[in-house]
Amino acid sequence: MESSNILVVLNDALEDGRKHIAKGSIATYIPELAKVDKNLIGATIVTSDGKRYHAGDWNKNFTMQSISKTISLIFALDHIGEEVVFSKVGMEPSGDPFNSMIKLEYKSAIPSNPLINAGAIAVAGLIADRFEFEDFLKFVTIVCGREDISVDENVYNSENEAGNLNRSIAYFLKHNGVIETDVEKALSFYFKMCSLNINTLDLANYAAILANGGRDIMSGKQLIDKSILKIVKSLMVTCGMYDGSGKFAIKVGMPAKSGVGGGIVAFAENNMGIGVFGPSLDVNGNSIGGYRILEYLSEKLGLHYFA
């Protein structure tokens, strides 16, 4: 499709997404996120040939939140190894809210997958026990294509102060031997990675690497091993959109990961990476406007994996 047509479709998708904002609500359980303007909405596409397309509030900063779970998983698999990582977390959808700890109590001490809070905290514990946060942050800047990505200290402090449920999950994991390092060290790492400030271009750059077999689209350098990519892509399809992952797979048909900061990262294989932002969330914690943008793009640009 010609560049002008992609931009037209992206702008149309944004306006379609804007119509749905009023149906959602912002995340208030993290006090700092409650201050965000509900009506913001933006999107960026980065194609496999390096072209960039923007719409709306694409360059507005927001925090990565649960999208960071995919990057921490990649980092852990690369530096610590699949065997160790999956001795601490499973590979299956949980069937429960992303911040639930119910199954830890009655089914398995090991979290269902790395993309729910319990699983991501377990992975954060593995990394924090072996690396400094700056090592992880450097990898984030590489895959997002921007060197000045940093922690939003206000959001970090807000998460640290209000994160009683995550703290309960972490201590439960420690009790069961899933977390072996200091709990507060693991939690600090987790809260920091969720509090990284990004925009939709950063997400689209990252998504373009995922779409391009783990290679940087400009240099061709292999940044993510293909065996790791297979794992992460599969988990994004089955678990990436919280309890809405199945419906999203049918409606949109792209691997994706959302965060309660309003971001969603998604990609069409060998085609394009997409980053969207809209802090108004649906009942599952997914950006309600961003979801609609991706559904619109999938339909109009033929991006559905199974189409």
Q: Is 156 a catalytic residue?
A: no
**Same domain, residue pair 177 and 253:** no
- Tens-level pLDDT at each residue, the chain (307 residues): 556 699 999 999 999 999 999 999 999 989 999 999 999 999 999 999 999 999 999 999 999 999 999 999 999 999 999 999 999 999 987 555 555 555 554 455 789 899 999 999 999 999 999 999 999 999 999 999 999 999 999 999 999 999 899 999 999 999 999 999 999 999 999 999 999 999 999 999 999 999 999 999 989 999 999 999 999 999 999 999 998 999 999 999 999 999 999 999 999 999 999 999 999 999 999 999 999 999 999 999 999 998 7
Comparing CA positions, the residue from 101, 99, 34, 93 lying closest to residue 63 is 34
Q: Is residue 123 part of a domain?
A: yes
Q: Is 260 a catalytic residue?
A: yes
Predicted TM-score (pTM) of the model is: 0.94
Q: Is residue 180 part of a domain?
A: yes
**Same domain, residue pair 251 and 104:** no
Among residues of the chain, what percentage have pLDDT more than 70? Answer: 94
Q: Is 46 a catalytic residue?
A: no
pLDDT at residue 97, as a whole number: 54
**Same domain, residue pair 124 and 182:** yes
Domain housing 118: 67-194
Q: Is residue 306 part of a domain?
A: no
**Same domain, residue pair 279 and 203:** yes
Answer with the one of 173, 194, 215 that is the final residue of a domain: 194
Amino acid at 184: E
Burial of 238 (0-12, 13-18, 19+ CB in 10 A): middle
Out of 53, 190, 206, 291, the active site residue is 190
Among residues of the chain, what percentage have pLDDT more than 90? Answer: 89
Answer with the one of 163, 194, 225 that is the final residue of a domain: 194
**Same domain, residue pair 90 and 182:** yes
**Same domain, residue pair 100 and 143:** yes
Q: Is 190 a catalytic residue?
A: yes
Q: Is residue 266 part of a domain?
A: yes
**Same domain, residue pair 22 and 89:** no
Out of 53, 156, 206, 242, the active site residue is 242
Out of 66, 68, 94, 158, the active site residue is 66
Phi/psi for 17 (5° steps) reads: -65, -35
**Same domain, residue pair 221 and 172:** no
Q: Is 291 a catalytic residue?
A: no
Please report, for residues 97, 106, 293, 295, 299, the alpha-carbon distance to residue 253 in angstroms, rounded to integers and kept in the order given.
Answer: 21, 33, 13, 8, 10
Out of 46, 68, 69, 298, the active site residue is 69
The number of distinct structural domains making up the chain is 2
